[in-house]
A and B are shown apart, each in its own frame.
Chain A
């Protein structure tokens, strides 16, 4: 059946398109973009006042399958994605077992077919068991569809091993995504090192640990020629190191989480585990540098690092809680509140950061609206105000750092291959 998204503003930066008009979808594909569509025999969604954009792509999430379904699973994680207007996620390998072979990767693909609400790309591990010692089955995983390799959650400690991993990944024409925190400086820490951590008596994770790791991996990328994508950059100096590397023409890209752009370590003063993540939420000067990095294009993508934990795991004293928070359902609202409504970024740039660029980096379909292509579409009401409550979210966890915060802007319709998977906040699958 024909489906028409009517009267919205089509925002399609990859084609330089920003215009009022209708989008017609049929048989899972986009039929036409713009102009006035004939409503005869069609289901119509009135998108007046809304943006109609390519489906958002979150290139860094943890769906927790296999083995950690107490935290999240592919069904609930992709429901959360649909609710957040995200039509494709790339999920990380730090599951149990680790996604370090084609066999495990195929088993995850099978689970995605069975229970995925949105599209899922899979990032394979760099090292077997994330131990940083032996290469994972990169070739087999690449063949089976892995989009990149990452030991995210862990830093690859050996520079020598990372060098080999980059050489091998580059041979396969895949990028390496690194979790850059030097663990000799950061392993014991629970929050950003700074005035707050010292005053609170909490052992810190210094930004210097991230800076050192980012510098090392840029050097290794320049040595090997491998595309390095720095995961969740969080410190001011790391942004600057990446900016300089890009100026030199190095194959370095990066991403930032919505929460690192929104919060600072002042929020941790109440010892609440809901703000605990790695790398940690940093100081205001770092946040400003991240904003600057987004504005000047040093930062390529905005992600969530959606990494929920079971409620009982987070409902413990601050220092005992694991790192990681849920983010898929709050990132768009957070970014619109932070950038769009403050006139710092246009909706076109936001779509680039949250859809077009991730598609290009992952080299997957999407990030652009094209007639004849799969209808992965997000409709965004930028003026919809809503107050976040963990209990209302699709993710398994009740905890969100945005609890009680009012955000302005929300996805109101999500289409995957032409099928409506979320409408007015309700996930239909």
Chain B
């Protein structure tokens, strides 16, 4: 199964079979990421533009390396170094790159709906190639949702029937929204917990449960994804202080003991160690946080590969 020519702006647009296929191909890609010779030529002759209008370390370099490992050419555009500082619009920036012949656009923007806007931005003479949303405001971050599913499965946990808990600032989190949709679609039981101000009950419409206590949320959990809490949330009136947040909502060893033995700890990064996650847990053996980063490259390789080719299985001989 291939996704050739498709844009991926949110996991809502993918079927469970398509998600399954991406995870399958990502497993093949992971062999390349951890091998000595990382260069394939399956995307030779293809070019990819990353449009990052918001700061990013991991997602941006992850997409860039993913494209390069597959043999594609990559051009990176950011707001500050581009004509956007001269007032060029998002639409015109996307059209410009498309007119140059890029085969896929990867876009990150602080505004919800930016990726779908770009995917619709074609003109009578220039079509927009497939778009991958690398994060649009608090809306969606599908590659992160996929890599979280990949990581859970790699830890030996079956997605179907597992209990997946997301802790923290759900309201402002595109990772949470993609995780909820993706994990729920694959049959997981998704639970949310955090301060009432940051975990709207309305999100249950996406197919998850908003819990009323840490105990309820963590009881029997197979995996816990801890979200970053930003200092600005105190100024915005969402929480009193980071220290109160840490004491009421931070994940530590004592709280982790409420989960299933063998439960894994995840975090999309960047972490505030000692705030939402205790220092010792961040580097505990149960923490899969660095593995998530590694898996991110494999997932993004799979996404690019599947939207740009017929999607045949890849065999790697190390």
Q: A residues touching B (Cβ–Cβ < 8 Å)?
A: 190, 194-195, 198-202, 270-271, 312, 315-320
Contact of B90 among A199, A202, A270, A316 (CB under 8 A): A316
- Count of B residues near A, CB < 8 Å? 24
A-side contacts of B302, CB under 8 Å: none
A271 close to B205 (CB less than 8 A):
no
Given contacts A199-B205, A201-B139, contact A270 B116 (CB under 8 A): yes
Q: Taking the complex as formed, is B42 at the interface, i.e. its CB lies under 8 A from any CB of chain A?
A: no
Distance to closest chain A CB from B94 (angstroms): 11
Give A320 to B202 CA distance when docked, in angstroms: 24
A-side contacts of B238, CB under 8 Å: none
List the 6 closest pairs (A to B, CB-CB), nearest first.
A271-B113, A201-B138, A318-B113, A201-B139, A198-B202, A319-B111
Q: Can you report 11 A-B residue pairs in the complex whose CB atoms are below 8 A from each other? A: A195-B202, A198-B200, A198-B203, A200-B113, A201-B139, A201-B172, A201-B177, A271-B113, A317-B114, A317-B136, A318-B117
> In the complex, what residue of chain A is closest to B177 when comparing beta carbons?
A201
A195-B202, A270-B116, A316-B90 provided; 10 other pairs, C-beta below 8 A? A194-B202, A195-B205, A198-B200, A201-B139, A201-B177, A202-B113, A271-B112, A271-B113, A271-B117, A319-B137
Contact of B140 among A198, A201, A317, A319 (CB under 8 A): A201
> In the complex, what residue of chain A is closest to B205 when comparing beta carbons?
A195
Q: B residues touching A (Cβ–Cβ < 8 Å)?
A: 89-91, 109, 111-114, 116-117, 136-140, 171-172, 174, 177, 200, 202-203, 205-206
B-side contacts of A190, CB under 8 Å: 112
Most chain A CB atoms below 10 A, which of B90, B113, B136, B202:
B113
B-side contacts of A194, CB under 8 Å: 202
> In the complex, what residue of chain A is closest to B111 when comparing beta carbons?
A319
> In the complex, what residue of chain B is closest to A197 when comparing beta carbons?
B202
Contact of B202 among A199, A202, A317 (CB under 8 A): A199
Give A319 to B113 CA distance when docked, in angstroms: 7
Contact of A201 among B90, B109, B116, B174 (CB under 8 A): B174
Contact of B112 among A201, A312, A315 (CB under 8 A): A201
> In the complex, what residue of chain B is closest to A201 when comparing beta carbons?
B138
A-side contacts of B114, CB under 8 Å: 317
Given contacts A195-B205, A316-B90, contact A271 B138 (CB under 8 A): no
> In the complex, what residue of chain B is closest to A188 when comparing beta carbons?
B236
A-side contacts of B177, CB under 8 Å: 199, 201
A-side contacts of B109, CB under 8 Å: 317
A317 close to B90 (CB less than 8 A):
yes
A-side contacts of B203, CB under 8 Å: 198-199
B-side contacts of A316, CB under 8 Å: 89-91, 117
A-side contacts of B89, CB under 8 Å: 312, 315-316
B-side contacts of A198, CB under 8 Å: 171, 200, 202-203, 205
Distance to closest chain A CB from B150 (angstroms): 23
B-side contacts of A319, CB under 8 Å: 111-113, 137
> In the complex, what residue of chain A is closest to B174 when comparing beta carbons?
A201
B-side contacts of A270, CB under 8 Å: 116
Distance to closest chain B CB from A283 (angstroms): 11
Given contacts A195-B205, A199-B205, contact A320 B174 (CB under 8 A): no
A-side contacts of B91, CB under 8 Å: 315-316
Give A316 to B117 CA distance when docked, in angstroms: 7
Distance to closest chain A CB from B170 (angstroms): 9
> In the complex, what residue of chain A is closest to B110 when comparing beta carbons?
A319
Give A319 to B112 CA distance when docked, in angstroms: 6
Give A194 to B203 CA distance when docked, in angstroms: 10
A-side contacts of B139, CB under 8 Å: 200-202, 271
B138 close to A317 (CB less than 8 A):
no
Given contacts A315-B91, A319-B137, contact A199 B206 (CB under 8 A): yes
A318 close to B205 (CB less than 8 A):
no
Contact of A200 among B112, B117, B172 (CB under 8 A): B112
B-side contacts of A271, CB under 8 Å: 112-113, 116-117, 139
Distance to closest chain B CB from A189 (angstroms): 12
Distance to closest chain A CB from B182 (angstroms): 14
Give A199 to B109 CA distance when docked, in angstroms: 18
> In the complex, what residue of chain A is closest to B200 when comparing beta carbons?
A198
Contact of B113 among A199, A312, A317 (CB under 8 A): A317
Give A195 to B206 CA distance when docked, in angstroms: 9
B-side contacts of A312, CB under 8 Å: 89
B-side contacts of A195, CB under 8 Å: 202, 205
Distance to closest chain B CB from A352 (angstroms): 38
Give A318 to B202 CA distance when docked, in angstroms: 21
Most chain B CB atoms below 10 A, which of A195, A316, A317:
A317
B174 close to A318 (CB less than 8 A):
no
A-side contacts of B113, CB under 8 Å: 200, 202, 271, 317-319
Give A200 to B174 CA distance when docked, in angstroms: 9
A-side contacts of B90, CB under 8 Å: 316-317, 320
> In the complex, what residue of chain A is closest to B139 when comparing beta carbons?
A201
Most chain A CB atoms below 10 A, which of B90, B112, B202:
B112
Distance to closest chain B CB from A182 (angstroms): 15
Give A319 to B177 CA distance when docked, in angstroms: 18
Distance to closest chain A CB from B174 (angstroms): 6
> In the complex, what residue of chain B is closest to A315 when comparing beta carbons?
B91
Give A202 to B90 CA distance when docked, in angstroms: 19
Contact of A317 among B111, B172, B174, B205 (CB under 8 A): B111
B-side contacts of A199, CB under 8 Å: 177, 202-203, 205-206
Most chain B CB atoms below 10 A, which of A198, A270, A315:
A198
Most chain A CB atoms below 10 A, which of B91, B117, B139:
B117
Give A194 to B201 CA distance when docked, in angstroms: 10
Give A195 to B203 CA distance when docked, in angstroms: 7
> In the complex, what residue of chain A is closest to B9 when comparing beta carbons?
A271
Distance to closest chain A CB from B242 (angstroms): 22
